[in-house]
Structure 1
Amino acid sequence: MASGSIKKEANGTWMFVVDIKDETGKRKQKRRRGFKSRKEAQAELTKLLNDVNDGTYIEPVKTTLGEYMLTWLDSKHDNMSRLTIDSYRSYIKNHVAPSIGHVALSKLSPLDIQKLVTDLRSKKDHKGRSLSASTIQRIFNIVVTSLNNAKKMQLIKENVAKLIDKPKIKKKKIEVWDVDEIRVFLDGMYDNRHYICFHLALLTGMRQGEILGLSWKNIDYEKKLIHVTQTLSHDRKEINHGAKSHAGVRSISINEKDVAELKRHAHRIEEEKEKAGEELYEDRGLVVCTNIGRPVFADTIGKMFRKYYRKFNVTPIRFHDLRHTHASLLLKQGVHPKIVSERLGHSSVTITLDTYSHLLPNMQEEAASGLGNLIFSDPQKNEL
C-alpha cells in the first residue's frame, strides 16, 4: 500500500510527499507543492493514494499536447491518406498549438479543451473570415481521437475532451435541381469535352473524386455497371485505391443512355490521343482527363461548373449537390432508400434518410393518405 504525508512549508503553502513503487518494485517519492491549505493538500493526496492503490495511477509525462499530437499523427501514415495527414498537421500547428499546444498532456483539463473551442470560434483566416462550424468540429474531433489513443497507451487516465459538449454544426439546407434544370444544363454542356463528368454526377450520384479517378477498366458495358474502386486526390497527385468508406467501394448500375455517352466520350478520347501522339499523350486509363491524358484538377471542374450554371441561368449549387440531386430524384420516384444508399456508397441507410428526408415534405402526407385509402376505401367501388 502506498503512503504519504503532509507538511506546511516556510512560505505558508502546503505540500505532500507520497511513496510509490514503480514496476520494478523500487520506491520513488513524489512531491506536490503549492497547496493553499492543508485541506486542499489532503484532498489531492487522498485522490493520488486511491489511484495508486487501485492500480489506476499513471505517471505524469512532460510531453505537451502539441508534441504528442504530432507524434500521434506520425504513427497514422498507414491508416490515413497523404492529404488527410497534411490537413491534420495543418490543423494541429495552426490552431491547436497556438491555443493549448503548450499544456502538458498529463495536466490537460476540460477547461483547456473549452478554451480551444472558444479560441477557434473567435479566430479569423487570412481573408478575415471566421472558421466554419464544420472546421471547428473537425479540429475538435482530431483532438478527441488523439486523446483516445493517449488513454489507450496509458499516457493519461481520462480523455478530458469527452467531458465537454461537442461543437455543433448547423445543418445547411441542401439545394438541388429539378428535372427541367438538369435538362437545360446537360443540353447546354453537351458539346463540352468534360460533359461526361456532369452526366455521371447526376445519373450515378458518384462523388467528384470518384468520377475524376474513374478508370475505363472499371466500366462494364455489357452488364451496364460502373465499379467504384478508386478516387483521385484533390491535388491530383495520386490515385487512392478504395473509397471514402468501406461501403464506398461499390458497383453502380447505369442505363443505355449512360453507356452511349461513355462510348461517345471514349471516341473523343481516342481522337485526342491520336492527335497528341504517343510521345505527348500520357495514357493513364482515366475516363476524365486532359487532352493529353493527365488527371483533371477538381478546381478545374468546379470553375467550369460555376461558369456554365450562370450561363444557363439555373439554380447556383455546388458540384457535390449534383449527387444530392441524384439521390432526391430517386427517392421522389419511390426508389427504396436502401438502394439509394448503395448507389451513393453510404456506410448506412440511416445517413441517407437523415440527409434527404427533409427534401421530401410530401412523403408523410402521401403515406397517411395512402393508408387511409387502403383501409377505408369502398371495395365495391374499387371493383367497378
Structure 2
Amino acid sequence: MGYVADRWHKKKPGPDEPECGEHKGLVASKAHGKGKRWQARYDDPNGREITSLHRTKTEAEAEIVKQEAAKQTGSWLDPKAGRVTVERFSLDTWLPSLNINSRSRTEYEGVLKRYLVPEWGNREIRSIKPSEAGAWQQQLISKYKLKGTYPNRVSRYVRGIFRLAVIDRVIPVSPFERIPAPAAEEKATQPPDVAEVRQLITNAYDDRWAAMIELNALTGLRSGEIRGLRLDRIDFLRRTMLVNQQLVYEKGVGMYFAELKTGAGLRTLPLSQRTVDLLAAYVKKYPPRADGESEGLIFVMADGGLIGESTLDYALKSTCKKAKVQPRHWHELRHHYASVLIAGGENPKVVQKRLGHKDVMTTLRTYAHLFAEAEEKTRDVLDAAWAEPGETALEEESPQQGGRIPESRRRQGVLRQVSG
C-alpha cells in the first residue's frame, strides 16, 4: 500500500531546528512553499516506486486508492508513460518490436519520418485525440497526395503504433479505435492475356528475357524471386519449384540474397510440363555458373552479374515497344498467372498460396473483378449441365443487336422481368 509524504516539512527534524512559522509543530524543509505540498507514493505492478504531487492531502490519498484499485483489476497505467513523444515511441519501441528484416525496417522508418513525425513527432503520445487521428488520415490524401492502397498501408503502420502503446499500458485507448481506416482502393488489374504474353516472348530481344517472361507468366514469381532463382530449387522429376529466397537491393548495401518478407511467401509451386521443358531447355543452353556471387542462378547477365530490378523492368518495356503492345510492368505477368488460375476455377485460397500472399483477403481485394467473372462462368456451366437435351442449342434473335443470344441469357431476362 502506498503512503502520502509532506514535502514542505521534515519527517525527522533535528532537536534544535526551529519550528515552521506557518505550520505549528512542524519543521520546514528546503521545499517549503515551493510547488505542491503533498506527494503520493506507491509501487507499480513491477515494484518500481511511482510518485505524483497534489495540492491537498485528501487528493494524494485518493490518488493512491485509485492506483491500488487499478493494479488489482489489471487496468493500471503508468501516469508518466504517456508523456513519451510519438516519435520516440514509434522509433524506439514500436519499430524494434517488429519481426521484420532490415529492408522492411528501413521502409517503415522512412514512412514514419515522411508522414507521421512532421505532424505529431514532438507531441506526447497521450495527447493525440480521435478527431486528430481522423484528420491525419485525411491529410495522407489531401496534403501528401497518396493514392491507391498507400494511404491504407501508411495508416496501418501508425494504427499499429498506438495499438502497441495500449498493450504496453502507455495509453488507455488508441485514438484510432473508432476511426475507420482509409479505404484500400485497389485498381482493377487488367493483366495481359495469353496471346499478348506470346507476343512478348516472340519479340524479346534476348533468350534470357524471353525465358523469364514465359516463366513468370507460368509461375507468378515476384521480380526478386525470379532473379534469385537457383537451379537446385527445381525438382524436375516431381515438377515442383521451391520459392524461398529473393534478390533484393538496399541503399548503401547493394544487391544481396534475402529471405522472403513473410512466411506465406515461402512456398512450393507445382510446375506444368511446359514450365519444366522451358527450364530444362534454358539451363541446357545456358548452364548456371559453378562459383561466384551468381553461383547456381538460372538467370544472370551476359557477363555473369546479378540482374537488377530496373534492368528487368527496362527489358520488359523495350519488349513491349517492339511487340507494339501497351507498356507493362513486370508485376503484371504475375497478375496474368493469377488470372489464368482464377479463370480455370481455382478457389481464392489456392490462388493465395500460389502467389505467396500473406492472407486470402489480399488476394480477394486484388482480383475481386476476376473472381466475379469466374462466377459468371460458373452460372453458364450450371445452366449447360442442367439443360434439357437439345436446349443448349436453342437461340433467339436479339432485335436490338441483330444477333442471337443463348437460351441461358434469355432465361436471365425472363427472371429479371418476373422479379421486377
Shift of 1:375: 4.3
Matched length: 348
Specify the SS of the correspondent of 1:99: helix
Once the two structures are superposed, the pairs formed by residues 1-384 of structure 1 within 5 Å of their partners are 19=40, 21-23=42-44, 28-31=51-54, 53-55=69-71, 56-58=75-77, 59-61=79-81, 62-73=83-94, 75-76=96-97, 79-124=99-144, 130-189=145-204, 191-235=206-250, 237-241=255-259, 243-270=260-287, 282-349=293-360, 351-359=362-370, 361-375=372-386, 377-378=388-389
Shift of 1:223: 1.7
What is the CA–CA distance in structure 1 between the aligned matches of 2:392 and 2:167, rounded to whole Å? 69
Shift of 1:63: 1.6
Aligned residues: CA RMSD: 3.6
What is the CA–CA distance in structure 1 between the aligned matches of 2:166 and 2:220, rounded to whole Å? 40
Tell me the percent identity: 24
In structure 1, give the amino acid aligned to 2:208: R
Specify the SS of the correspondent of 1:237: strand
- For structure 2, the 5+ residue unaligned runs are 5-35, 394-420
Residue deviations 1:156-203, cap 9 Å, x none? 222222332211222202011122111111111173423332122101
Contact kept in structure 2, 1:284 and 1:294, CA below 8 Å: no
Contact kept in structure 1, 2:200 and 2:320, CA below 8 Å: yes
Shift of 1:214: 1.2
Shift of 1:73: 4.8
Residue deviations 1:63-105, cap 9 Å, x none? 200011110255247x211111111111222221110111112
What is the CA–CA distance in structure 1 between the aligned matches of 2:110 and 2:196, rounded to whole Å? 39
Contact kept in structure 2, 1:232 and 1:240, CA below 8 Å: yes
Residue deviations 1:138-169, cap 9 Å, x none? 22211121222222222222222233221122
In structure 1, give the amino acid aligned to 2:217: L
In structure 2, give the amino acid aligned to 1:64: T
Contact kept in structure 2, 1:3 and 1:49, CA below 8 Å: no
What is the CA–CA distance in structure 1 between the aligned matches of 2:196 and 2:221, rounded to whole Å? 19
In structure 2, give the amino acid aligned to 1:295: L
Distance 1:379 1:361, change over 3 A: same
Indicate the larger mover: 137-146 or 282-291.
282-291
Q: Which residue of 1 aligns with 2:18?
A: none
| The structure with more radius of gyration | 2
Shift of 1:211: 1.0
Q: Which residue of 1 aligns with 2:29?
A: none
- For structure 1, the 5+ residue unaligned runs are 5-14, 33-41, 125-129
Specify the SS of the correspondent of 1:294: coil
What is the CA–CA distance in structure 2 between the aligned matches of 1:304 and 1:358, rounded to whole Å? 29
Greater relative CO, 1 or 2 (CA 8 Å, sep 6+): 1
Specify the SS of the correspondent of 1:291: coil
Shift of 1:219: 1.0
Q: Return the TM-score normalized by structure 1.
A: 0.77
Distance 1:97 1:352, change over 3 A: closer
In structure 2, give the amino acid aligned to 1:334: G
What is the CA–CA distance in structure 1 between the aligned matches of 2:354 and 2:366, rounded to whole Å? 14
